[in-house]
Chains A and B, each alone.
Chain A
Amino acid sequence: MEFLHSMGILAITPSTIIMWSIGLVLIYLAINKQFEPLLLLPIGFGIVVANLPGANLMQEDTGLLWLFYHFGIEWEIIPPLIFLGLGAMTDFGPMLRQPRLIFLGAGAQLGVYVTFFIAHSFMGFSLAESATIGIIGGADGPTTIFLASKLAPQLLGLVAVAAYSYMALVPIIQPPIMRLLTTDRERRIRMHKGRTVTQREKIIFPVVTAITLILLVPAAAPLIAMFMLGNLFKESGVVNRLSETAQNELMNILTIFLGVSVGSTMNGDNFLRKEVIYIFILGLVAFMVSTAGGILLAKLMNLFTHDKINPLIGAAGVSAVPMSARVVQKEAARVDKKNYLLMFAMGPNIAGVIGTAIAAGIFLTLLQK
C-alpha cells in the first residue's frame, strides 16, 4: 500500500495532463515541423518530466531540474554564456560599414516599449510582468529569459516559449507587415556598400563598446560583457580554440541546460491561467510593432538622406539572427532578384541584439527591487 502511494499515478490531476499535452505538442512541433527544435525539444521534454507527480524533479534544493534552473538561470549563468557564444558568431562588419543602420536596431525595439505600456496600462499586468512580456518583441531568447528570471520568474517558461515560437514564425509574421508598409519602389532600392572596415576596427569595437555600454546601462553588463568578450575571441584571431568552443561545444551544452530548465519552470499553477492567452497575444503585438518600428524608422531616415536605405532592412532590427535578415533578402528578391540585401540586413539585425539587451538593462534598472 505504501508503494502504491509512492507512485505518482494517484496524484495525477487534470492540470498535470494538460501540462503533459503542452510538452508533447512542443516535442511534436520540434520533430515534425522543425519548429526551433534545438530549444523546443528540450523545453517540451522538461515540461513533461517536471510535471510527473512524485518525481519531485522541481523539489527545492534536491530536484535535478530545480538545480539546473537554480544554478543555471537564477544565478544568471546560462543566458550570459549563450551571449558569449553569440558574440563569437557575430560579425559586426555589416554594422560598422554603415553605422547609421544601428538606429534601425534601436527603432525595432519600439514593440518592446509599446507592449510594456499596453500590458501595464490597459491589461492590469504589474510593471515587472509588463516588462517581461514586452521584451518578447525583441525576439531574443536568452535576453527574454534573463529578464524574466529577475523580474517575473513565474512567467519565465511562458515568455520563453512565446519568444522562441515567434522567432520560428518570423518568415510568416514579418512579410505581410513589410509589404504593407513599403512601396514597390522602396523595396527595389539597392544599397551602397558603405565604407571598408579594417580588422583593427573590428578588434577595437567590442572593447570600446563593452566599456561604453556597461557604463551607460550597468544592469545590462552580464549580457553585454559576455557578448563582447565572445566577439573579441573571434576578431582577435589569436584564440581560435576559445572562439570555436564558445560557438559550438559550449553553446550546445548550454542549450541543453537552458531548454530543460525553461521547460521545468512550467507547471499547472503558473501556466494554466487565463492571462496566458493575453501574454501570447501581447508577445505577437510586440513582435509586429517592432517589425513596423524598424521599417518606419528607415523610411523616416530616408527623408533626410540622399543615400537611400531600403526600408525592408528595418524589419531585421528585431534580433532574430539571422532569420529576419533572410526574410528581408527574400522579400527584396521578390521584386528584384538581383538585389542582395542580406548583408545589409545583418547590420540592424546585430544592432537589434544589443538593443534588446539594453532594453532589458533599462527595465532592470528601473524596476528591479
Chain B
Amino acid sequence: MSEEVRAPLAGNIWEVTVAVGDKVEEDDELVIIEALKMENPVYAPCGGVVKEIKVKKGDQVQEDAILMILE
C-alpha cells in the first residue's frame, strides 16, 4: 500500500532529507518547506520506504501538493 505525503503549507523546498529507497519511521523528517523565512519540517505520516520523490531543493510547492510517495 502506498501513501502520499502532501505539503501542509505552501512554500519553497528548503531541503529533502531522505532519498529514494530510504526506510522511514512514522514522524521522521522527510522534507523541509521554507515559508515566511521559517523552516517547516514535514514528517512521515506512517512508516515505510521512500518510493518516489516528486520535489527537489528550491522547488515552489502549493498547499496539498504531493511531495513524495511512501510504500
Contact = CB atoms under 8 A, between A and B. Distances in A.
Interface in A290-346: 322, 325-326, 329, 337-338, 340, 342-343, 346
Given A337-B27, A342-B9, A326 B36 contact: yes
Instruction: Select the residue from B36, B40, B43 with max chain A CB neighbours within 10 A.
Output: B36
A340 B63 CA distance: 11
A193 B40 CA distance: 17
Contact of A325 (B8, B27, B36): B36
B36 A340 contact: no
Contact of A342 (B27, B36, B43): B36
Contacts, number: 29
A336 to B, nearest CB: 11
A322 B36 contact: yes
Q: For chain A, which range describes its interface: under 10, 10 to 19, 20 to 34, or 35 or more residues?
A: 10 to 19
B47 to A, nearest CB: 15
Interface of B is mostly: loop
B43 A338 contact: yes
B9 to A, nearest CB: 5
B10 interface: yes
B38 interface: yes
Contact of B41 (A193, A322, A326, A337): A337
Contacts of B27: 337-338
Contact of B9 (A326, A337, A340): A340
A343 B61 CA distance: 14
Contact of A337 (B36, B37, B38, B43): B43
A303 to B, nearest CB: 28
Contacts of B18: none
A115 to B, nearest CB: 28
Contacts of B38: 322, 326, 329, 342
Contacts of A193: 63
A322 B37 CA distance: 9
A342 B41 contact: no
Given A326-B38, A337-B27, A343 B43 contact: no
Interface in B50-65: 63
A343 to B, nearest CB: 5
Interface of B: 8-10, 27, 35-38, 40-41, 43, 63
- Counting from the closest, the 4 A-B pairs by CB-CB distance are A340-B8, A322-B36, A326-B38, A343-B9
